[in-house]
Amino acid sequence: MALNLAQSAAAAACFAPSTGAGVARCAPSVVSVRAAASTVASLRMQRQAACEPSVAPARPAMSVACRAVANHVSSSRRNGVPVFVMMPLDTVKKCGSALNRRKAVAASLAALKSAGVEGIMVDVWWGIVESEGPGRYNFDGYMELMEMARKTGIKVQAVMSFHQCGGNVGDSVNIPLPRWVVEEMEKDQDLAYTDQWGLRNYEYVSLGCDAVPVLKGRTPVQCYTDFMRAFRDHFASYLGDTIVEIQVGMGPAGELRYPSYPESNGTWKFPGIGAFQCGDRYMRDSLKAAAAAAGKSEWGHGGPTDAGGYNNWPEDTLFFRQDGGGWSTEYGEFFLSWYSQMLLEHGERVLSGATSVFGDAAPGGVKISAKVAGIHWHYGTRSHAPELTAGYYNTRHRDGYLPIARMLARHGAVLNFTCVEMRDHEQPQDAQCMPEALVRQVASAARAAGVGLAGENALPRYDGTAHDQVVAAAADRAAEDRMVAFTYLRMGPDLFHPDNWRRFAAFVRRMSESGSPREAAEQAAHGVAQATGSLVHEAASALRS
């Protein structure tokens, strides 16, 4: 997840993201993935009734003009980059049995389709689906969404979200890990990532215990794989047609990284360097073994103690400072190699599970992807301290993204990267933020490894400046250098504000038709805005209610 202190000034014409409506209380009822189909259908009706009064889903019909726009964009997409839109974090109720704001979802999907959007991205929360007990899955709310998407003609990127929602940038709701997982973490607090001061982080189970049966007799990786298998079995008829991509969450915020910069409780503030997360028992045991194997047992007692705190800057510390910093010593190279390798091996294990589940899931296949964080602050320094604490061994003299891209290539996975909308001059220059250079480096790594590169904006932006940057980075390039997809953050009432919607429609056209003149796209967007006015108003009103 990338960050930007200057977003208010840079996006003065935009509206702040709104918080989703409260989640209604509901009496959870779950069934085993092995339940008979007839029982599932019966219980689904009961659950929806328990969650909220029966409301017929609104399915606004697209006008002839809307369909013409959508069909035109679809026919030209082979030359450009398909655009997806991220759904609200609380799209599905916490009970898992129904959608929040069902009418709003239906109207929003129809509006997006009318603008030529390819599809949506939605978090499938572990903490919702498997909340009641190991192997007891409730996908009913997501099933309702997939059926809406199918009927609207919208594609879906489904995110296997094995992390907690809450405590990161943009988290407007709180969705913890499954309560039975939380109970195990309370019994053994070393299942949580831990820093050198003993501060625990419960966003995601520590990768140090990936292969240890610590969750009711299963390893964390087994739990993730079983969850993905249950998803595949429930949605088999949608895979490859409606569901076209599975993004596999592998850390906090769904990103392959350590939770080195947690915002919760004010622990970290941008642009602090963060802190290493290797203080739990399982990580310490691994470090001790690696040090012994290297013949340096004295290096196995813990991570660097001179790397400063979460909110220090590189030059405040002995370890990260430019000249003679510990990061460039023999010990620093040993520790950073071990720390980053542990993250790569975690990615290997989780993606192996994903490819074993989805490899032959559908005749047309589904893409597998993984998300990498856009840590652009202090990128201009020699040590790249915030990237190092997050697990990316990237410095002035070492490419930390090529090993990640090669790992993804071994599993045929797409590399999804954030902060594509950011420009260097918008960021605090004293923190040596360089998002544009970072995006170029990651794109180069993806190209060298032969993996597809997809993009996201890190923060909600509705202004033309951000759109221009995304188009330049993703679409206005030679065919071999274009991104394979772009996911726009995030669906909400602000997106459907008339001015924002018009700009967004022009953006979708420019992305879908690489090289399309901006003036022509804006002219077409006026037509889209006029044709979809009532539909967009309905979506915005329903999302606010």
Alpha-carbon distance of 246 to 302, in angstroms, equals 36
Radius of gyration of the chain (CA): 23
For residue 75, give the H/E element and its range.
helix 64-76
**Catalytic residue chosen out of the listed positions 52, 203, 255, 421:** 255
3-state DSSP assignment of residue 103? helix
Calculate the alpha carbon distances from 141 to 137, 144, 148 in Å. Answer: 11, 5, 11
**Interatomic CA distance for residues 210 and 19, integer angstroms:** 34
Q: Rounded CA gap, 227 and 403, in Å?
A: 27
Q: Which of 118, 436, 456, 538 is catalytic?
A: 456
Q: Where are the alpha helices (DSSP H) in 153-296?
A: 179-187, 220-234, 281-293
Q: For residue 239, what is the DSSP state? A: B
497 is in an annotated binding site: no
Distance, CA of 43 to CA of 461 (rounded, Å)? 41
Alpha carbons 212 and 519: distance in angstroms, whole number: 58
Residue type, 378: H
- The DSSP secondary-structure symbol of 458 reads S
Number of alpha carbons in the 13 Å side-chain half-sphere of residue 9: 8
CA 438 to chain CA mean position, Å: 18
Is 376 annotated as contributing to ligand binding? Answer: yes
β-pair partners for 194: 200
Residue 58 assigned as binding residue: no
Q: Where are the alpha helices (DSSP H) in 416-517?
A: 435-449, 464-474, 498-512
Query: Which ranges in 153-199 belong to alpha helices (H)?
Result: 179-187
Q: Is 456 a catalytic residue?
A: yes
What residues have CB less than 8 Å from 57, skipping those under 6 apart? Answer: 102, 103, 105, 106, 144, 148
Here the contacts of 179-186 (C-beta below 8 Å, separation 24 or greater) are 179/131, 179/132, 180/131, 180/132, 180/133, 180/134, 180/215, 180/216, 181/126, 181/205, 181/215, 181/223, 184/214, 184/215, 184/216
Q: Is 487 annotated as a binding residue?
A: no
Annotated binding residue at 418? yes
**Element at 91 (helix H, strand E):** none
Give the span between the Cα atoms of 268 and 270, in whole angstroms. 7
Helix (H) or strand (E) holding 108: helix 102-114
- Annotated binding-site residue? 163: yes
- Residue 123 known to bind ligand: yes
Q: What are phi and psi of 218, to 5 degrees?
A: -115, 155
- Would you say how long the chain is, in residues? 545
Residues whose CB falls within 8 Å of the CB of residue 99, separated by 6 or more in sequence, listed in order: 91, 92, 93, 105, 141, 144, 145
**Residue 255 falls in the annotated catalytic set:** yes
SS3 259: coil
Residue 481 labeled ligand binder: no
Ligand-binding annotation for 472, yes or no, is no
- Show binding-site residues for substrate: 123, 163, 171, 371, 376, 418, 457-458, 490
- Show binding-site residues: 123, 163, 171, 371, 376, 418, 457-458, 490
Active site residues: 255, 456
